[in-house]
Amino acid sequence: MLHHTLSSVQERISMIEKSQWGEGLSREDMERFAQYLYVARAQPSEPIFNEGAIEPYMCFVADGLVKVTKGDSKKNVKTICEIGPGRTVGEMSIIDGLPRSASAVAVEETTVLVLTKENFELLLNDNPKLGVALFRRLAQMISHRLRVSDWMLVEYIYESETPS
């Protein structure tokens, strides 16, 4: 599992700047945002979270590589994707609070910024303008991932219907 690591606000700001989440945020907004995050690390093969767990937090990958997997109906584990620096994983849990739909495992030594559901709700209350901007970015990212999933599903259906 993730190992909480002490960090300064400046270190967290630097990590935000290198991610897609730093785009369009002022230095002041990044500083506010950084106050709601903490740094954690995972060693290779360590889980960041497990499918089915109720752990409402998302991770911004600062360094390393994360493999996202999901069990199928026959309990076979399938790799969905790999997430590298600047990208996020686990964002659905801070919105809906439901059990994890997939697992995430560190492929190599990985450093993440963690935003818990509780801290996201505090941010929304304390800094509504920043909270709305982050919520909008979350919605855009989830929408993009859904569109990609739709495309992949159509490709899969087409391939399975096409005679060999």
Q: Distance between CA 11 and CA 17 in Å, rounded? A: 10
C-alpha atoms less than 13 angstroms from C-alpha of 95 in its C-beta half-sphere: 13
How many C-beta atoms surround the C-beta of residue 67 within 10 A?
18
Number of H helices, E strands in the chain: 5, 9
How many C-beta atoms surround the C-beta of residue 124 within 10 A?
15
* CATH number of the domain bearing residue 38: 2.60.120.10
> What DSSP designation does 99 have?
P
Residue 156 has pLDDT above 90, yes or no: no
Confidence (pTM): 0.88
Structural domains in the chain (count): 1
SS3 state at 27: helix
Dump pLDDT digits (tens) for 54-97: 999 999 999 999 999 998 888 889 999 999 999 999 998 998 98
Its domain, for residue 121, covers 3-161
Dump pLDDT digits (tens) for 115-133: 999 999 999 999 999 999 9
